[in-house]
Amino acid sequence: MRLIQFNSGLCILLKDARQSSSTHKKSSSNSSNEFLVPYLTFRQQYSQRKVPSTRAVEHRRDKSDSGRVNIRDDDEGHLIYVPGDILHHQYEIRRTLGEGTFGKVVEVRDLRGDVTKHVALKIIKNVDKYREAARLEINVLKSIKEKDPEGVNLCVTLLDSFDYHGHMCIAFDMLGLSVFDFLKDNNYIPYPIDQVRHISYQLCLAVKFLHEIALTHTDLKPENILFLNSDYNIVYNHRKRRDERVVRRTDIKVIDFGSATFDWEHHSTIVSTRHYRAPEVILELGWSQPCDVWSIGCILFELYLGFTLFQTHDNKEHLAMMERIIGPIPYRMAKQSKKTKYFYHGRLDWDERSSAGRYVRDNCKQLRRYMVTDELDHQQLFELIEKMLEYDPKRRITLTEALEHPFFERILPEQRITNGTSSKSS
């Protein structure tokens, strides 16, 4: 048998012309009929099935704006594309920048604007839940742009958004690597203390702005903090005898507002990526802007040391790590928590002699013991982190207070952002 592909997209099976002549000895004219019979039988069977017409199929798989390929999705809902494809009669795809559960980010050329300027285009999967999340993110980005049209407050600026055959697309300025990806590519060598200071200063400013317009980001992590430009110099570390990358400029933007929530909107029970999740979220006590402050405290630690503070995927183990690093969970929070199975008489029910208990004991220590030196600015950093990792969200430092902390007194004048204006860092 042979498989034949027709332009309509239908496949039919035809008998091989080389079948044994002893079994099927026919004249040349009959041989032609032999090819037609199975085809006609197949067409007859096919016409009786309730399937979309060719016209309907072609309409669903419409031509792209470039006129070269059909609009198709893969099994996961990602748009199938190749470099050179043109979306929305405007954006020419150059290359893929990254991929996530939500979809893909591609570098495109804006054919209606400055053609030399390249833009990052977030192409959301053609899946209902991701499409709806993208619409919510676009609404948040529009609100941010309305409040801060110049992008002074260091949140990524929405350039354009549109629906492309079921794929929500969001356009942004091209940025550099995330602070996490730069860290990973640099073999997790931590950032110098002055760079930690500038990055965290900008992060506090950006999220403070969000809090002032009644937003909680809810998913702050190093992956969602991008350098404007991640070019770097190679510096040889004589003490450790190795080359190290040092980013040239530490200007950043905060991205990914897909989970951002206004004060008046429904608050999901669980928010934030595990390692940056505040205790009130784990204990299901309700959350608001202070949960972002907890996440920032975890991020500052990671920038300073190059590894995650709470490296776990289990709630009770996470709470045990918190107790090991910053002290006992307040009795009142334990008693109010819906997670009663985690506690016994108001204390965390945790066996330090178990394998998990030994892991926490061996891999976690009091927060101040992580300092690499006792120099003043290192002490100030850890004092700030301690205030951000306060269990009680009502007592946790606000970002307005954090920006007044002595750790930020050494921010360079050209790096400061005051009264809605900023200067570029040197």
pLDDT at 331 over 60: yes
pLDDT at residue number 371: 97
What percentage of the chain exceeds 90 in pLDDT? 75
Domain boundaries, the chain: 74-173, 177-415
Q: Which of 78, 68, 54, 53 is nearest to 165 (CA)?
A: 78
**pLDDT digits over 249-307, tens only?**
999 999 999 999 999 999 999 999 999 999 999 999 999 999 999 999 999 999 999 99
In one letter, which amino acid is 179? V
Q: Which fold has domain 74-173?
A: Phosphorylase Kinase; domain 1 (3.30.200)
Catalytic option among 85, 110, 219, 251: 219
Instruction: Let me know: does 253 contact 156? Beta carbons within 8 Å.
Output: yes
Give the closest residue to 101 by CA, choosing from 127, 73, 71. Answer: 127
| pLDDT at residue 220 in the model | 98
Query: What pLDDT was estimated at residue 418?
Result: 76
Check whether 122 is labelled as a binding-site residue. yes
Cross-strand partners of 225: 254
Q: What is the residue-averaged pLDDT of the chain?
A: 86
Q: Which residue did the predictor score with more confidence, 48 or 219?
A: 219
177-415, what's its fold?
Transferase(Phosphotransferase); domain 1 (1.10.510)
Beta-strand pair 167-173/158-164? antiparallel
pLDDT recorded at residue 283: 97
According to the model, what pLDDT value does residue 113 have? 82
CB of 251 closer than 8 Å to CB of 228: yes
Between 27 and 411, whose confidence is greater?
411
In this predicted model, what pLDDT tens digit does every residue of 218-262 receive, in sequence order?
A: 999 999 999 999 999 999 989 888 999 999 999 999 999 999 999
Rounded CA-CA distance 249/179 in Å is 12
Q: Count CB atoms within 10 A of the CB of residue 3.
A: 8
Give the tens place of pLDDT for each residue, 163-220. 999 999 999 999 999 999 999 999 999 999 999 999 999 999 999 999 999 999 999 9
**pLDDT, position 37:** 42
308 vs 27, more confident: 308
Q: Does the predicted TM-score (pTM) go above 0.85?
A: no
Tell me the per-residue pLDDT of 387-410, one tens digit each, with 9 for 90 and over: 999 999 999 999 999 999 999 999
Three-state secondary structure readout of the chain: CEEEECCCCCEEEECCCCCCCCCCCCCHHHHHHHHHHHHHHHHHHHHHCCCCCHHHHHHHCCECCCCCCECCECCCCCECCCCCCEECCCEEEEEEEEECCCEEEEEEEECCCCCCCEEEEEEECCCHHHHHHHHHHHHHHHHHHHHCCCCCCCECCEEEEEEECCEEEEEEECCCCEHHHHHHHCCCCCCCHHHHHHHHHHHHHHHHHHHHCCEECCCCCHHHEEECCCCEEEEEECCCCEEEEEECCCCEEECCCCCCEECCCCCCCCCCCHHHCCHHHHCCCCCCCHHHHHHHHHHHHHHHHCCCCCCCCCHHHHHHHHHHHHCCCCHHHHHHCCCHHHEECCEECCCCCCHHHHHHHHHCCCHHHHCCCCCHHHHHHHHHHHHHCCCCCCCCCCHHHHCCCHHHCCCCHHHCEECCEECCCC
- Identify whether 243 is a catalytic site residue: no
How confident is the model over 74-116, as pLDDT tens digits?
Answer: 999 999 999 999 999 999 999 999 898 899 999 999 998 887 7
Structure confidence at residue 86 (pLDDT): 94
Q: Which residues are within 8 A (CB) of 164 and not within 5 positions of it... i.e. 6 or more apart? A: 79, 87, 88, 123
Q: Say yes or no to pLDDT of 9 above 60.
A: no
Does 360 have pLDDT greater than 80? yes
Q: pLDDT digit string (tens) for 109-159?
A: 999 888 778 899 999 999 999 999 999 999 999 999 999 999 999 999 999
